[in-house]
Chain A
Amino acid sequence: MSVLLEIEDLTLRVPAVEILRGISLQVATGETVGLVGESGSGKSSTARAALRLFPDEAQAGGRISVGGVDVLSAGDAAVQRIRAHDAAMIFQAPRTALNPVRRIGDSATERLVQVHGLDRKAARAKLLTLFEHVGLRDPESLLRKYPHQLSGGMLQRVVIAAALSIDPKLLLADEATSALDVTTQAEVLALLKRLRGERDLGVLFITHDLHLAAAYCDRVYVMREGLIVDHQPGATIFENPGNEYTRQLADAVPTLPAQDSTETGKVGSR
Chain B
Amino acid sequence: MSVLAVDKLGKTFPGRRGQQPVVAARDISFLVEAGGSLGVVGESGSGKTTVARMLVGLTSPDQGKVMVEGRETSKPERGRAARLRRAREIQMVFQDPYTSLDRRLSVESCLRDVLNRHRPELAKAQAAAEIGNLLDQVGLASKLTASRPHELSGGQRQRVAIARALAVRPRVLVLDEAVSALDVSVQAKILTLLNELRAALGIALVFVSHDLAVVGEVTDRILVMYRGDDVEQNATAELLRRPRHPYTQMLLSSAPGPGWQPERVAELRAAFALTEGRS
Contact = CB atoms under 8 A, between A and B. Distances in A.
A184 to B, nearest CB: 8
Nearest to A267: B249
Contact of B213 (A193, A248, A255): A255
A79 B248 CA distance: 47
B62 interface: no
B255 A182 contact: yes
B242 A182 contact: no
A249 interface: yes
Interface in A219-253: 238, 248-249, 252-253
Interface stretch (A56-64, A110-118, A119-127, A206-214): A206-214
Interface stretch (B107-115, B121-129, B158-166, B264-272): B264-272
B22 interface: no
A212 B262 CA distance: 10
A220 B18 CA distance: 49
Given A189-B262, A215-B260, A252-B187, A259 B254 contact: no
A26 B211 CA distance: 31
A189 to B, nearest CB: 4
Contact of A187 (B185, B212, B266): B266
Nearest to B279: A137
B153 to A, nearest CB: 9
B183 A256 contact: no
A252 B214 CA distance: 11
Interface residues of A, number: 41
A260 interface: yes
A263 B185 contact: no
B184 A256 contact: no
B255 A256 contact: yes
B255 A39 contact: no
Nearest to B41: A182
Interface in A142-198: 151-152, 154, 181-187, 189-190, 193
Contact of A183 (B43, B211, B242, B246): B43
B248 to A, nearest CB: 10
B214 A254 contact: yes
B218 to A, nearest CB: 9
A256 B250 contact: no
Interface in B229-279: 237, 240-243, 246, 249-260, 262-266, 268-269, 271, 279
A182 B264 CA distance: 12
Contacts of B213: 211, 253-256
B216 to A, nearest CB: 6
B256 A181 contact: no
A54 interface: no
B5 to A, nearest CB: 28
Contacts of B132: none
B266 A190 contact: yes
Nearest to A270: B271
A216 B249 contact: no
Contact of B154 (A39, A154, A184, A193): A39
A263 B154 CA distance: 39
B265 A181 contact: no
Contacts of B45: 151
A257 interface: yes
Contacts of B140: none
A68 B210 CA distance: 42
A258 interface: yes
Nearest to B265: A186
A38 interface: yes
A189 B213 CA distance: 20
Nearest to A188: B262
Contacts of B262: 185-187, 189-190, 193, 216
Contacts of B241: 257-260, 263
B188 interface: yes
B217 interface: yes
Contact of A252 (B188, B251, B279): B188
Nearest to B257: A211
9 contacts: A151-B45, A181-B44, A183-B250, A190-B266, A211-B213, A214-B258, A216-B262, A253-B213, A254-B213
Interface of A: 38-39, 137-138, 151-152, 154, 181-187, 189-190, 193, 208-212, 214-216, 238, 248-249, 252-260, 263, 267-268, 270
Given A137-B279, A254-B191, A259-B243, 18 more contacts: A38-B183, A138-B279, A183-B251, A187-B265, A187-B269, A211-B256, A215-B257, A215-B259, A216-B260, A238-B258, A252-B188, A256-B252, A256-B257, A257-B216, A257-B241, A263-B242, A267-B268, A270-B268
